[in-house]
């Protein structure tokens, strides 16, 4: 099974939104890793919403990292 790309602060969602939080001291390619409960800004749904999924088999500072294809509370995919 191929590994999916990890989501980072600044990455886009399928609603045209942006991931606005990440773990500032845990970087992948110089950007903070985003995890379950971190927020995204969604212009389609007009608000900020948390990431609601994460890889539960691993953690970063006690949070589950988000990977491509996971969802936010507004229904956007990362």
Q: What is the pLDDT of residue 76?
A: 99
Could you tell me the CATH number of the domain that includes residue 19?
A: 2.60.200.60
Q: What is the pLDDT of residue 45?
A: 98
**Percentage of the chain exceeding pLDDT 70:** 97
Q: What is the pLDDT of residue 55?
A: 97
Look at the chain and report how many structural domains it folds into: 1
pTM of the model: 0.94
CA distance 50 to 65: 13
CA distance 15 to 43: 7
Q: What is the pLDDT of residue 3?
A: 87
Alpha carbons within 13 A on the beta-carbon side of 22 = 21
**Mean pLDDT of each 10-residue bin along the chain, 78 residues long:** 90 99 98 99 99 97 98 99
CA distance 21 to 35: 8
Range(s) of the domain holding residue 28: 1-78
């Amino acid at each position: 099974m191929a590994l999916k790309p990890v989501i980072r602060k600044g990455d886009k969602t399928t609603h045209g939104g942006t991931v606005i939080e990440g773990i500032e001291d845990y970087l992948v390619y110089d950007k903070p890793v985003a995890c379950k409960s971190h927020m995204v800004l969604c212009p389609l749904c007009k608000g900020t919403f948390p990431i609601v999924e994460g890889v539960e088999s691993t953690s970063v500072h006690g949070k589950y990292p988000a990977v491509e294809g996971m969802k936010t509370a507004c229904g956007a995919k990362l």
